[in-house]
Structure 1
Amino acid sequence: MTAVHRPATAVIVDGYSTGAFLPPAFAALGVEVVHVQSTPEPMLTMLQPDPAAYRERYVLSGEDGLPGTVAALAALEPVAVLAGQEPGVPLADRLGELLGLPGNGSALSAARRDKYEMIEALRAAGLRCARQSKGADPDALAAWAQAEGGFPAVVKPLSSASTDHVYVCRSAAEVAAAARRVLAATDIFGSRNTEALVQSFLAGTEYIVDTVGVGGAHYVCGVWEYEKTELPSGRRIYDRDVLLDPRAEPVPELVAYVLEVLRALGIEHGPAHAEVMLTPQGPALVEIGARLNGNMNPGFHDACLGTNQAHLTALAYTRPQEFLDRYAGRVYTKHREAVVHNTRTELDGEVAAVDQAAVDEIAALETVHLVGVKLAPGKRLRPTTDLLTSPLRIFMTGPDAESLRADHRTIQTLKDAVYQLAETPAEA
């Protein structure tokens, strides 16, 4: 009897949000995927994985727990285990280790998720970073900021994302109040914040540096500058992520620093998404995730960069030698000008409908590649205070920067027509 040949299998842990781009990237290389959910219940605060994209699904719970999951996965003889979203990083590290697969190992998993441990690992490696303290006592954190951290100071959760509960504080009283808000909340992934983090403020311009690696040999697949806008409250929020020329300053300096960060945190294999502040003293890490960029869109990145982080990740895990030959040690080529625009609004109310004609009018602009509509009917539209409350994400690419800026100005006249609100605002 002829043996039945099954395609190779990769394991994706917590394939939420942009983790949804991984199954098609692996499929394009002839690799099937299975999904492991690291929590008993799904994380409903994020875009859910598509069940149809996975051959099988597992939940890390029940009497068998980790040993049962490892045994079930071992029977599949997987070629890779990786995280689809940040909460899955520690479990993906451990599963890969137990299955004997290439990965980052579990020794520094905590430093890849916990922002306090992350910065302390950089300090131990002698890299430039913020001063910091953590704890569950808001008054103690305020006292530390007063005595050690200085003002302004930044207060945030230990393991969240997307500017969730991030506060810039200018006094001890503001630090204490912000810490209380953090401790009273859950993070973006649905976990209760048991401690808050306070850090010294990093002044400067903020950048994204995205990478993919195999065995510590990395390809830099994009460097973007954050352009921010100021709200009437004085709070600064993200407006545009602008793709930079890899040959222009400060890209080489940022890349050199991030490669040191990757070494310090043991991120040798797979994707990473770093946010770095270029201070007057030089680059300093804001935070890094061992996962895809949350603003990554494969078609958009293919257009402006010639490839995308999901494809590169699948290649790194399933055809490592090809990745090393084609990409390792190199930096991206900028094919077109590109921007990711996160719109803001002052509207407040329940979404009654999405006006498709308004969406289509924005999409028809010459430089608009894709309009991401974040809210469905029945959801609450709130005045924008951070990335989580930005109502639209618009991917833009074109031949020159002025074309993108012209369409950006036009979008400001159209964006608030996308959502039709109910006559009576929803209760908070």
Structure 2
Amino acid sequence: MPPSSDRPVVVLVDAYTSAKYLPPEFGALGADLVHVQSTPELMPSMPAPDLSVYRATIVHEDVEGTLARLRPYAPVCVAAGQEPGVPLADVLSERLGLTTNGTALSQARRDKYRMIEVLREAGLHCADQFKAGDVEALVAWAERAADYPVVVKPLRSAAGDGVFVCRDAEEVRDAAKAVLASETIYCEANREALVQSYLRGVEYVVDTVSYAGRRYVCGVWEYQKRLLPSGRNIYDRERLLAADEHPAPELIDYVDRALAALGVDFGPAHAEVMWTPGGAALVEVGARIGGNMHPGFHDRCAGANQATVTALAYLDPGRFMRGYAGRRYAKRLEAVCCTTSTTLSGVVEAVDHAVADEIAALETVFGLDLKIAPGERIRPTVDLYSSTLRIFMCGRDMDAVNRDYARIEELKDRVYRIRDDECR
């Protein structure tokens, strides 16, 4: 039996990456936490969560066993910290009779093919698509579509993992082979691959928190990505829009309808949406907080942050409904979150803290995350998880942000000292 406590207990499932910001926010509202790990071992592709902040950790083996271990804690809510935890969080919250998005549409909130088909059935603008476990079937669909480029990607990954922009049949063939021969960043085998029509336009992020279908919009961010010759589209930086700046209002309305179609009525959501000549079209949505989360940074730039508001929605829904439901953030400063890329390859021997400190001291730099530790491997950037730094920037005008960004580009590859015989 767990030790007795008068504090409410919150269960987080797979609290990797940006979900590390959730425990302090729930704790500030008087809750203890229990972590549920959906896999037998921690996922090696992501930094391990700090399990010392949890009252208990449960390694999931089967639903009945996990429920039996959770019930003595009398949890008040269950939330997913990362993508793989979404279906399990739905099952646990539903079976425990708690606030829940339910299991009816769980797979559509994880599987990108099902996700888009649900939106199509709801009458929302979205990409044409086809999935298969056969390379030539994927190539044949792309040829019939006859409107290159097309996008090939896994059905259940994230962070740009395995996403290829393909300009002809041979590139589709190579991309499909690569996807089907690999695992996702969540260590799941890709038994099928997805090919979709290419959505021409600009990509945006819309982050929200919901309670009973009422939403607070935490931010709308414009992606700036860089397309590599390999067909990989890597993250570069995200810029915060004002809530009334075109096309933010249209994107917010579209995401509201998409989340309703997907049954996301409670908790955070991170939606990636293209603004195309035909209007908004969903790329994908995750029922979890966004990857560029930094509570202090978002508070300063947008007046609130997704982690704090998520904790409030689960633990004090009345206050959420009074102060946040149906409202949007207020942009206070120009803000950019940048993720630096590299062409270096090797093993990091040390961090050059003088260079890191020079970046941190730039006028518009709010915070800096070093993504690679000594002894770890650095490799050419192909997705978000192979980027080298995350830097949060804000200021009164974009000229100052852009000036500091240019300096960061000059310094970024000097932050890590790498073995000379392994660099190229």
The TM-score normalised by the length of structure 1 is 0.96
Q: In the alignment, what sits opposite 1:344?
A: 341
1:196 lines up with 2:193 in the alignment: yes
Q: In the alignment, what sits opposite 2:354?
A: 357
| Partner Cα distance (1:155, 1:229) in 2 | 17
| Partner Cα distance (1:372, 1:241) in 2 | 16
The DSSP-based 3-state class of the residue aligned with 1:86 is: coil
Give ranges in structure 1 of 5+ residues lacking alignment.
none
1:81 lines up with 2:78 in the alignment: yes
Q: In the alignment, what sits opposite 1:13?
A: 13
**Cα pair 2:150 2:165 within 8 Å, conserved:** yes
* CA displacement at 1:156 relative to structure 2: 0.4
The DSSP-based 3-state class of the residue aligned with 2:420 is: coil
Give the alignment partner of residue 208 of structure 2, picking from 203, 206, 211: 211
The DSSP-based 3-state class of the residue aligned with 1:75 is: helix
**Cα pair 2:344 2:423 within 8 Å, conserved:** no
The DSSP-based 3-state class of the residue aligned with 2:348 is: strand
**Cα pair 1:274 1:288 within 8 Å, conserved:** yes
1:25 lines up with 2:25 in the alignment: yes
| Partner Cα distance (2:18, 2:216) in 1 | 19
**Cα pair 2:160 2:234 within 8 Å, conserved:** no
- How large is the RMSD of aligned CA atoms in angstroms? 1.5
1:163 lines up with 2:160 in the alignment: yes
Deviations 1:357-410 (A, max 9, x none): 110000000110111111112222222233232211111111211110111111
1:119 lines up with 2:116 in the alignment: yes
Q: In the alignment, what sits opposite 1:246?
A: 243
Q: In the alignment, what sits opposite 2:105?
A: 108
Q: 1:233 to 1:5 in 2, by over 3 A?
A: closer
Deviations 1:303-348 (A, max 9, x none): 1112211111110001011101000001101111110011122222
* CA displacement at 1:75 relative to structure 2: 1.6
Out of 76-85 and 142-151, give the one that drifted further.
Answer: 142-151
1:178 lines up with 2:168 in the alignment: no
| Partner Cα distance (1:320, 1:178) in 2 | 45
1:425 lines up with 2:422 in the alignment: yes
Give the aligned residue type for 1:29: L
Q: In the alignment, what sits opposite 1:262?
A: 259
Q: In the alignment, what sits opposite 1:366?
A: 363
Deviations 1:162-206 (A, max 9, x none): 100100011122111101100111101111111111111000000
Q: 1:426 to 1:38 in 2, by over 3 A?
A: farther
**Cα pair 1:149 1:199 within 8 Å, conserved:** no
1:327 lines up with 2:332 in the alignment: no
Q: How is 1:373-384 mapped onto 2 (pairs within 5 angstroms)?
A: 373-384=370-381
1:295 lines up with 2:292 in the alignment: yes
| Partner Cα distance (1:84, 1:299) in 2 | 19
Q: In the alignment, what sits opposite 1:306?
A: 303
| Partner Cα distance (1:234, 1:11) in 2 | 39
Give the aligned residue type for 1:151: Y
**Cα pair 1:337 1:399 within 8 Å, conserved:** yes
| Partner Cα distance (1:345, 1:81) in 2 | 38
* CA displacement at 1:225 relative to structure 2: 0.4
Q: In the alignment, what sits opposite 2:46?
A: 46
The TM-score normalised by the length of structure 2 is 0.97
Number of positions where the alignment pairs a residue of Structure 1 with one of Structure 2: 421
* CA displacement at 1:40 relative to structure 2: 1.4
**Cα pair 2:164 2:232 within 8 Å, conserved:** no
**Cα pair 1:213 1:270 within 8 Å, conserved:** yes
* CA displacement at 1:148 relative to structure 2: 3.0
Sequence identity of aligned pairs in percent?
56
Give the aligned residue type for 1:51: L
Out of 360-369 and 42-51, give the one that drifted further.
Answer: 42-51
**Cα pair 2:150 2:198 within 8 Å, conserved:** yes
| Partner Cα distance (2:48, 2:343) in 1 | 28
| Partner Cα distance (2:29, 2:253) in 1 | 31
| Partner Cα distance (1:385, 1:87) in 2 | 21
| Partner Cα distance (2:170, 2:378) in 1 | 30
1:229 lines up with 2:226 in the alignment: yes
| Partner Cα distance (1:346, 1:159) in 2 | 27
**Cα pair 2:20 2:50 within 8 Å, conserved:** yes
Deviations 1:107-132 (A, max 9, x none): 00000000001001001111100111
Give the aligned residue type for 1:11: V
Give ranges in structure 2 of 5+ residues lacking alignment.
none
